[in-house]
Amino acid sequence: KNQVEQSPQSLIILEGKNCTLQCNYTVSPFSNLRWYKQDTGRGPVSLTIMTFSENTKSNGRYTATLDADTKQSSLHITASQLSDSASYICVVSDNAGNMLTFGGGTRLMVKP
Amino acid sequence: DVKVTQSSRYLVKRTGEKVFLECVQDMDHENMFWYRQDPGLGLRLIYFSYDVKMKEKGDIPEGYSVSREKKERFSLILESASTNQTSMYLCASSLGTATYEQYFGPGTRLTVT
């Protein structure tokens, strides 16, 4: 069964600090991996999408890494801001069709 | 700019009522999806549609039906709402298969009392 596990479940950091969120997956055959940011009461918004051949992709202060061999991804947030407080969801797609496998998310709180 | 809209942000219904959740996208996307999101369970796919009048069951279709009469509109129907259907409902659309990005609407928070 395809699974996506994220850690930690929740995280509190001080404004200006860096943090790293983890995602492990067992989806096969792998197509791509996305990180979404979901503000409270809103729909998820895509941050990055990575295919098998990509191992790093950046979007401003967000940098995602992918190790397709170990089936792990991380999302690094640099110089955190209060607006980074949100849930971050890792989503993995297989080649079989329309099905995505969602992780449970990491809830990040950035405190002043 | 990409736009997926949902008919209501918050909805309160009574047990046994028929509930309609509407989703509209303006990107001419082929595929549309309905998910529900519950704490600790993440997003779970209820139904999706890859073309007008076409639908496929997702992981948790029981108690739900869908309708897609026009390309831009995808409706989720709760035939007889129950308290265990209290949840956040998210609609999404994409140009193609799972290799394409899905764009999400703002969500509808449904409470069934």
Residues of A with CB under 8 A from a CB of B: 31-32, 34, 36, 41-46, 49, 89, 93-100, 102-105
- Cis (ω within 30 of 0) for the bond into A112? no
Q: What is the rounded CA–CA span in Å between residue B67 and residue B52? A: 9
Look at A102 and B42 and tell me if their CB atoms are within 8 Å: yes
- The reply to whether residue B104 touches residue A45, judged by beta carbons under 8 angstroms, is yes
pLDDT value for B60:
94
CA–CA dist A111, A79 (Å, integer): 12
pLDDT tens digit at each of 112 positions of chain A: 789 999 999 999 999 999 999 999 998 888 889 999 999 988 999 999 998 888 999 999 999 999 999 999 999 999 999 999 999 999 998 876 557 889 999 999 999 9
Residue B65 has what pLDDT? 97
The residues near B70 (Cβ < 8 Å, ≥ 6 apart) are: B52
List pLDDT tens digits, range B94-110: 988 766 788 999 999 99
The shortest C-alpha distance from A54 to chain B (Å) reads 15
Length of chain B: 113
Q: Do A43 and B101 make contact, defined as CB atoms within 8 angstroms?
A: no
Distance from the Cα of A98 to chain B's closest Cα (Å) equals 4
Q: What whole-number percentage of chain B has pLDDT above 70? A: 96
CB B96 within 8 A of CB B30: yes
Among all chains, which residue has been given the structure tokens 């860096």? A18
The residues with which B49 forms a beta bridge, in sequence order, are B32
Contact A83, A75 (CB under 8 A): no
Neighbours of B1 (CB within 10 A): 4
- DSSP E strands: which ranges in chain A? 4-7, 10-14, 19-25, 30-38, 45-51, 56-59, 62-67, 72-77, 86-94, 100-102, 106-111
Tokens standing for A1? 């069964």
Write the residue in A31, A49, A105 that is nearest to B101 by C-beta.
Answer: A49
pLDDT at B68 > cutoff 70 = yes
Q: Tens digits of per-residue pLDDT, B6-59?
A: 999 999 999 999 999 999 999 999 999 999 999 878 899 999 999 998 999 998
Interface contacts A/B by beta carbons within 8 Å: 54
A42: nearest CA partner in chain B: B106
Residues of B in contact with A99 (CB under 8 A): 45, 98
Residue of A nearest to B49 (CA): A98
CA pair distance A85, A102, nearest whole angstrom: 20
Residue A41 to residue B56, Cβ atoms within 8 A:
no
